A and B are shown apart, each in its own frame.
Chain A
């Protein structure tokens, strides 16, 4: 059974949203998605999926707080403790089983409610091996960047080019919280944070909510919608501990992509896919992810970026949305935002950053420090 995206709703993104509760923010995204899909959530949507992590929210057993703001009260609802693409995969599978024909998938960030972001990330480290070392947990990104650059041959200048591109792309995106006309020099001379990682190479946090409506081919036809088709999904993790993982490559992204490519019957990703939205929470991550997804040859992602190949008018545009660097890190909503961007581009609804003639796109997510959780979705205009 084919599954497509028939509704897209995004609320935010902003560095803080003091006037709205997270429920009110999510309601805004949900109402937009149902309007876009032309569905009544109380009748037409048969199941609801929320992606959330208790520690980001500050509620224990967050599951109980999920139904009303997405129209899911007294209906089949479940919560995925993962990124939005994990939730997308859940909705995709629910429809493929034939159990339901229309599913809403929601992910949000009200990260401005959390006063101790570093404290929560540090709490995610192993209690015996890593926690006693204390310190800011983002030094894990410094470790990885160092190993990745050395092994791949990509350079700090290449990483800075990623930031320059994404934050400038974000200036064309109405939802972006961190659009800026920064240049290479601004980034390379920004203060050292976790050497070789510099301050401007770290995504800022943002609040926002994303809701997508998925439908089976039959339901989409009945609702008279032209879907963006989900051709494949995949997800994977690397080895759990800092001491046993591969620092030089994003193994989780490789494995997630293999799964998605198999389902989507993609043999040569670099040739068959037209553009990508990949996780760029830290500058080097975009390069590492492009190579892991097979969209750039090993060690070539930096040169592609410096040459302008991944720019809006390049051969293979990457993070036209502005990515996390430009739009803001919206925690568990990051992956769903990228799926939404790919769908908007494929529909021709991406406004000032619209790419020409794109037919197949890929979205990839990573759950951030210290995880090795990755997920991938491939979308296309044709079944």
Chain B
């Protein structure tokens, strides 16, 4: 590998050159809008979020509680058997502290994000979400956490009806 050149040959283009159409260009915005049917399992799951509850499906063949819920089991390929409410507490499986936002800009208040395995669901079944009320020194794999729900009237049937997961307090269920 050679050295990175300090100056590239040719004429550099600026953003203004593009915006002011000084450069020959074709612009096109694809029209691609979707409205996915959530389906039987996800529709129930999303409606339960509005009530501040998490729900899974039981596979009686595998003796498992699938979460998020599914109408069929990926392990045995049989239809799942019944709805089961699970708790809104769980354990951090893994996490990361993101110092870049979605546009890759550096941020001072980092985003805590990770996967929580939910109490009452089978192993390795859970939800990816934000963490709050934690610092880089307190958050850890294996930490017990609980959902911080939005107020009932602000819930829309979205995973964002949970604001974030926060540390479980002592004596709390």
Residues of A at the B interface (CB closer than 8 Å) are 17-24, 27, 30-31, 34, 40-42, 55, 58, 67-69, 71, 73, 110, 112-116, 118-120, 122-123, 127-128, 131-132
Contacts and interface: CB of A to CB of B under 8 A. Distances in A.
A68 B78 CA distance: 11
25 contacts: A17-B37, A18-B37, A19-B40, A21-B37, A21-B41, A31-B72, A31-B77, A34-B77, A42-B75, A42-B76, A55-B32, A58-B32, A69-B72, A73-B74, A110-B37, A113-B35, A114-B32, A114-B33, A115-B33, A115-B35, A116-B31, A120-B30, A120-B32, A123-B30, A123-B31
A58 B32 CA distance: 8
A13 to B, nearest CB: 15
Given A19-B37, A23-B39, A24-B40, A132 B31 contact: no
Contacts of B75: 42, 73
Given A20-B39, A24-B40, A31-B77, A114 B71 contact: no
A21 to B, nearest CB: 3
B26 interface: yes
Contacts of A110: 36-37
Nearest to B73: A68
Shortest 10 CB-CB contacts between residues of A and residues of B? A21-B39, A119-B31, A58-B34, A68-B74, A123-B30, A115-B33, A73-B74, A116-B31, A71-B77, A24-B39
B123 to A, nearest CB: 15
Contact of B77 (A19, A24, A42, A122): A42
A14 B32 CA distance: 22
B31 A21 contact: no
B38 interface: yes
Chain B interface mostly: loop
B8 interface: no
B42 interface: yes
A24 B32 contact: no
Interface in B73-98: 74-77
A32 B88 CA distance: 36
A19 B38 CA distance: 8
A41 to B, nearest CB: 5
Nearest to B78: A31
A20 B77 CA distance: 17
Given A120-B30, A123-B30, 10 more contacts: A17-B37, A18-B37, A42-B75, A55-B32, A58-B34, A58-B36, A69-B72, A113-B35, A127-B28, A131-B28
A114 B32 CA distance: 7
Given A41-B77, A42-B77, A73-B74, A21 B38 contact: yes
Contacts of A21: 36-42
A30 B78 CA distance: 11
B13 to A, nearest CB: 19
Nearest to A120: B32
Interface in B5-47: 26, 28, 30-42
A114 B39 contact: no
A207 to B, nearest CB: 9
Nearest to A40: B77
B26 A127 contact: yes
Given A41-B77, A42-B77, A113-B35, A132 B71 contact: no
Contacts of A116: 31-33
A122 B31 contact: yes
A281 B127 CA distance: 42
A153 B24 CA distance: 44
Contacts of A123: 28, 30-32
Contacts of B39: 19-24
Contacts of B40: 19-21, 24
A128 B34 CA distance: 26
Contact of A113 (B26, B28, B31, B37): B37
A213 to B, nearest CB: 13
Contacts of A17: 37
A20 B26 CA distance: 40
A322 B31 CA distance: 31
Nearest to A69: B72
A113 B33 CA distance: 9
Nearest to A129: B26
A19 B39 CA distance: 5
A26 B26 CA distance: 39
Contacts of A114: 32-34
Contacts of B38: 21
A55 B31 CA distance: 11
A24 B37 CA distance: 10
Nearest to B34: A58
B30 A119 contact: yes
